[in-house]
Amino acid sequence: MAESWTVQRTGPGDVARTQAREQLLEAARELYGVNGYRETAEHDVCEAAGVPAEVLRQEYGSREGLLIALHNRVTTTGLRAAESALLTEGIEECSIAERVRRLFDAYVEAVTSDPREARVTFVEVLGVSAVVDEHCKLWRALWTEFLTGEAERAVERGEAEDRDHRVDVMVMVGTVHELMAHHARRCRRARPGEVSGELTQLALTMLGPQRSEE
C-alpha cells in the first residue's frame, strides 16, 4: 500500500529515493508487461509499488516517463550484452558471421529473459505518444551507429561488400524491432536461439556475400 512508504523512509534521502524508483520500475514491469501500458492507470502503478502518486511524478514525471525509464533500462542491458559479446577472448579472429551470431545471441538473451520486459520494450512502447516515439528513435539511431561500425569492420576485412552500409543498417534496425515485437506478441515464445538465428541471417544477407575462407 502507498501509505507504507512513509515507514520505509527511515534512512538517508538518497537511499529512500533509490528504493522508491526501483519499486516503481518493478511495478511497471509487472503491470505494463502483463496487463499492458494502456490498461494500467497511474494509481495502479503507485499502489503496486507502495508509493504515493507524488513520488512517481517527482522521480519519473508521469506514467509515460516511467515507461520510458523501463524501456531505457532493458535496451541498455541489451546493448551492454552485445558490446560484451564483442569483447570476449578470441573474438578478433572470428569471421563476421560468427561475430554477428554472438552479438545477436547475447542481445536476444538479455532482452527476452523476462517476457514482461520484452513486451514492454517491443510492444507497449508503440504508438504511445510523440515523446515515446522520439525516445525509441534515439535508441534506433544508437543501434545504427553501433551496427554500422560492425559493417565497416567487415568491409575492411573483405568480408562484406565495399559500399556504404548505413542505409542497410537503418533498415535492419527497424526490421529487428519488428521481428522482436512479433515474437513478443506470440503466445508460444520462440527460443532465444531461434530469434537470434533469424536476426543473424538477416544481418548477413544485408551485408552481402561473405568471402569464403581459402
pLDDT at 213 exceeding the cut of 60: no
Give the mean model confidence (pLDDT) for residues 132-147: 94
Least confident span in 4-13, 30-39, 172-181: 4-13
Question: What per-residue string of b and e applies to 64-81 under the rule 16 or more CB within 10 Å gives b?
Answer: bbbbbbbbebbbebbbeb
Among 102, 107, 78, 101, CA closest to 89 = 102
How confident is the prediction for the chain on average, in pLDDT? 87
63 versus 159: which is more confidently predicted? 63
pLDDT at 111 exceeding the cut of 80: yes
Most confident of 5-19, 51-65, 157-171, 182-196: 51-65
Give the mean model confidence (pLDDT) for residues 107-118: 93
pLDDT for position 188: 65
Q: At 7, is the pLDDT very low, low, confident or very high (cuts 50, 70, 90)?
A: very low
Give the mean model confidence (pLDDT) for residues 113-137: 95
Residue type for position 64: E
Distance CA 200, CA 105 (A): 9
pLDDT at 140 exceeding the cut of 90: yes
pLDDT for position 3: 39
pLDDT for position 4: 38
pLDDT at 1 exceeding the cut of 50: no
Q: At 12, is the pLDDT very low, low, confident or very high (cuts 50, 70, 90)?
A: low
136 versus 166: which is more confidently predicted? 136
Pair 196, 104: CB distance under 8 Å: yes
144 versus 157: which is more confidently predicted? 144
pLDDT for position 162: 84
Distance CA 107, CA 82 (A): 5
The owner of cell 573474438 is: 91
Q: At 192, is the pLDDT very low, low, confident or very high (cuts 50, 70, 90)?
A: confident
